Amino acid sequence: MGPVLAGVLQLLALITALALAHVPLGTYMARVYSCDRHWRVEKWIYKGIGADPDTQMRWPAYLRGVLAFSAVGVLFLYLLQRLQGHLPGSLGFRAIDPDQAFNTAASFVTNTNWQSYYGEQTMGHVVQTAGLAVQNFVSAAVGIAVAVALVRGFARSRTGELGNFWSDLVRGTVRILLPLALVAAIVLVACGAVQNFSGIHEVGQFMGGSQQWNGGAVASQEAIKELGTNGGGYFNANSAHPFENPTPFTNIFEIFLLLVIPLALTRTFGLMVGSVRQGYAILATMATIWVGFTALMMWTEFAHHGPALELAGGAYEGKEVRFGVGSSSIFAVATTLTSTGAVDSFHSSFTGLGGGITMLGMMLGEIAPGGTGSGLYGMLIMAVIAVFIAGLMVGRTPEYLGKKIGTREIKFAACYILITPALVVVLTAAAMALPTPGDSMTNSGAHGFSEILYAYTSASNNNGSAFAGLNADTQWFNSSLGVAMLLGRFLPMVFVLAMAGSLAEQRPVPATAGTLRTEKPLFTGLLVGAILIITGLTYFPALALGPLAEGLAS
């Protein structure tokens, strides 16, 4: 079997598995967030944190809950790292430096999981499990909660109430993420992933000499790392490491994990707004972009010109030989079109155009299918903009799901889509202009610029993957990337929840003969076009200086 055919078959198998999980998981999540009953363990949690899960919140109160919970998470994780040297199970590792501790705390609380450190050489067992793994769960649950609040804004009328943040947070963690992560961890352990609390061992090498390795609760963290679209690996090599990703089967399984919840949330959305076909329209938009990007990536990596690449059957540099070009291409697209950041290959070693595809996937806003929750609310914001554009074209007041899209909603949507490009462009320009950050680049020219651009694109869009070749463990990058992650996560949530509150206060508008049918393929095509055009106009100059220039020159 040729490598191209193997890659295509893996993609088809992945699509089949996602299709089989879509209906049951999406339906289950809709029931979770629509149910009025609380489990006993959930009641214990509410009592412990002093929250009333039955109190309905308007958008300012919901936002305060999101920000307060996340701020406590940043502080707790920062202190846990600073005190690591005094904690049991530290494996002899010292306390984390202040700038790196801030960067890591911001990274994991914002669901970014950018890592400027070597995981197996820096973090002990307590920080990994009680700190990083816990944030993998709750940061994903926060994203789903915000998405559900926006969906309620479309579904409800003549009320500003969006539900209860604490209830949504606890239910997402207890009823969805924990059970799925448990099953996924068992599968990974059965396939060879490591799960223990061992110390550091001296391991012999084939060519002589020895190397130090330590174990850890790897499989359990790997499961939620992918399932919650987090991405932070236990080891520096991330999902290219055999302890995290032992076989070609686990590689495809991990891709399945990072896609399954964002795609299933489209059915949850359709059920909660009372129209499954609306959910399918959003799903079709996500699937079109994802499949298109995957096909383009496989083409650039398999068919790149040059005698060496043609003899090798593709661009193998930087790719794990256990997985090959096809599977690595699928993983790279999936992880950058979601807010995952996990990698099974080095994106910096992809072809020039291949690296540009990974970067463009993040620049789209990671909405195809995007992160857990963040992908859905990002796509719904783009749907609002697409409806507004269609209304301008035919001279009608735009409507979406029975709600009028007026000046207020468009202002919220415009602010949402401008935040991350502004962070990326401004911070990239600052890093290129200042002398110290420039010293961190190991490459010059277009590729060196791509390293900087990729880093701020990854941080601002809460992805977490890196282009490699960039020494980001400096005070400048730890601080500036940490700020980018915090602003890129929480400023958009402000406008999402504000829009949700505005929509929930409206009266439903009955459909007429002139209403745009947003469940039809025509709207899907309009939405895909709007996403690509808006992103292209925003980022094309920066892409032209980096990956496009490199790709055309090679």
Tens-place pLDDT, residues 346-397: 888 888 788 888 888 899 888 999 999 999 999 999 999 999 998 888 777 7
Token reading at 103: 């960067």
pLDDT band at 511 (very low <50, low <70, confident <90, very high): confident
Task: Please name the amino acid found at residue 129.
Answer: T
For residues 235 and 244, the answer to whether their CB atoms sit within 8 Å is: yes
Per-residue pLDDT, averaged over 255-267, amounts to 96
The share of the chain scoring above pLDDT 90, in percent, equals 60
List residues bridging with 212 in a β-sheet.
202
Q: How many CB atoms lie within 10 A of CB 137?
A: 20
| All residues at 6 or more sequence positions from 333 whose CB lies less than 8 Å from its CB, including other chains | 290, 293, 294, 297, 357, 358, 361
SS3 sequence, 239-254? HHCCCCCCCHHHHHHH
pLDDT tens digits, one per residue of 484-510: 999 999 999 999 999 999 999 999 888
Q: What is the pLDDT of residue 410?
A: 94
What pLDDT is attached to residue 313? 54
The answer, yes or no, to whether residue 18 has pLDDT greater than 80, is yes
Backbone phi, then psi, for 200, in 5-degree steps? -90, 130
State in Å, rounded, how far the first CA of the chain is from the last one.
29
CB-based contacts of 395: which residues, under 8 Å, 6+ apart? none
For residue 552, the model assigns a pLDDT of 66
d(CA 344, CA 488): 25
E strand residue ranges, 153-207? 200-204
311: pLDDT strictly greater than 90: no
pLDDT digits (tens, 9 = 90+) for 430-475: 888 877 665 666 666 777 788 888 889 999 999 988 887 778 888 8
| Cα–Cα distance measured from residue 546 to residue 357, given in angstroms and rounded to the nearest whole number | 12
Mean per-residue pLDDT over the chain, rounded: 89
Task: Give pLDDT, residue 416.
Answer: 95
The token pair at 477 is 């990058």
Residue 214 has pLDDT above 80, yes or no: no
The answer to whether the beta carbons of residues 343 and 232 sit under 8 Å apart is: no
* pLDDT, position 307: 53
Most confident of 52-61, 118-127, 307-316, 460-469: 52-61
Give the phi and the psi of residue 234 in degrees, each rounded to 5: -70, -30
Return the pLDDT at 305.
Answer: 59
DSSP 485-507: HHHHHHHHHHHHHHHHHHHHTSP
Which one-letter amino acid corresponds to residue 455?
A
Q: How confident is the model at residue 30 (pLDDT cuts 50, 70, 90)?
A: very high
> Domain segments of the chain: what residues?
3-200+213-553
User: Is the pLDDT higher at 256 or at 160?
Assistant: 256
DSSP single-letter state for residue 53: T
Q: Among 150, 141, 209, which Cα is nearest to 181's?
A: 141
Q: Give pTM, 2 decimals.
A: 0.94
Q: Where does the pLDDT of residue 312 fall: very low under 50, low under 70, confident under 90, or very high at 90 and above?
A: low
Task: Say if residues 351 and 447 touch (Cβ distance below 8 Å).
Answer: no
One-letter amino acid at 228 equals G
Both structure tokens of 109:
């609380």
Asked if 462 contacts 485 with a C-beta cutoff of 8 angstroms, the reply is yes
With contact defined as beta carbons under 8 Å apart, do 257 and 223 qualify?
yes
Residue 404 CB burial class (10 angstroms; 0-12, 13-18, ≥19): middle
Preceding omega of 421 cis (within 30 degrees of 0): no
Question: What sign has the CA pseudo-torsion 320, 321, 323, 328?
Answer: positive
**Closest by CA position to 398, among listed 149, 378, 409:** 409
The answer on pLDDT for 303 being more than 90 is no
Structure tokens at 135: 């944030």
